Structure 1
Amino acid sequence: MRVLKTYARVFVADLDESLPLYETLVGASADLRFAFERAELAAVGDFLLIAGADDDVAPYRSTVGPVIVDDLDGLIAMVAGPSGAEVIGESESATGRFAYVRHPDGAVVEYVEWSPEVVASVLGTPKAGHPHG
C-alpha cells in the first residue's frame, strides 16, 4: 500500500468564482471536477476545492484528507488491525472508492482509492501491480 497523493481542502462559496485563482497558483487546469452529495468539488494541483452551502459541507470540515492510496483494502487492513483505527464509513464516488477512518489519536481521515482511469488522468500512470488495474 502506498500513498499516491494528498490534498489540502479549501472550502469556497462558489467554485466557478474561486477555481481560476487556484489554477493560476498551480499553473494548470483542474484535474477533476464533479458533484458529490450536495457539494461540488474540484481538484487542482494539491488543492481540493469544496463548494456548497455551509450545512452541506459541514461534515467535511472535521476530517483530514483526502489521502489518495493505491489499495484501499490494504490500507484498511494495515490501520484497522494492531493500530486500533476504526473504519467509520465506506462508499463509492465518481472517482473510485473511499473510507473514513478514525485513528487512535481521534483524527478522522478520508482515504480514497481512485479508479484506474482517474489515476491515469491525474497522475499519468496506471496502477501497476494492483489487482483492479
Structure 2
Amino acid sequence: MRILKTLSRVYVEDLDEHLDFYEKLLGMKVEMRIPMPDVGLELAQIDDILIIAGLEQALQPFKRTQATFMVDSVEEYEAFLVNNGSEIVRGPQKVPTGVNMTVKHLDGSIFEYVQHNLE
C-alpha cells in the first residue's frame, strides 16, 4: 500500500487556453489528456499538476477535492481508510485511467484516490 504520487488540482473552464502556460511554467509537456464527456470534463496531467477543465456547473462537484493521490491499490486504501474513520464519498468506480474513489478524511479534507491501469 503506497501513495505513488500526489497531484495538485487546478480547475479551469477551457483546457486548451491554459495548457501552454502550465507546460512553460513546469518546463514539461502534457503526460496524459483524457476527455470525460459523461461528466462534462477534460483532464490533463503535467508532472504533479492535474488540470481539470469544464463549465462551472460540471466542475462544482469536484472543487472540494483538495488533491489526487495516485496509489498502488484503491482496494487496500479503501479498507484502511474505512477502518480508520474516513468516509467514502464515492466508492471505487472504473474511470478511463483505471479505478478511483473519493474519500473524506477525519479532518474534513476530501481526496481522490486513483489507481492507474498499467496497460
The two structures share one fold, judged by TM-score above 0.5: yes
Q: Which runs of 5+ in 1 are unaligned?
A: 118-133
* Equivalent residue letter for 1:86: E
Name the structure 2 match of 1:54: 56
* Equivalent residue letter for 1:45: D
Instruction: Describe the SS at the equivalent of 1:111.
Output: strand
- RCO higher in structure (CA 8 A, sep ≥6): 2
Does residue 71 (structure 1) correspond to residue 73 (structure 2)? The answer is yes
Tell me the percent identity: 37
Name the structure 2 match of 1:111: 113
Considering only aligned residues, what root-mean-square deviation do their CA atoms show, in Å? 1.1
* Equivalent residue letter for 2:51: L
Instruction: Describe the SS at the equivalent of 1:7.
Output: strand
TM-score normalised to structure 2 length: 0.91
In the alignment of these two chains, the number of paired residues is 116
Q: In the TM superposition, what are the counterparts of 1:1-133 in structure 2 within 5 Å?
A: 1-36=1-36, 37-81=39-83, 83-89=84-90, 90-117=92-119
TM-score normalised to structure 1 length: 0.82
Q: Which runs of 5+ in 2 are unaligned?
A: none
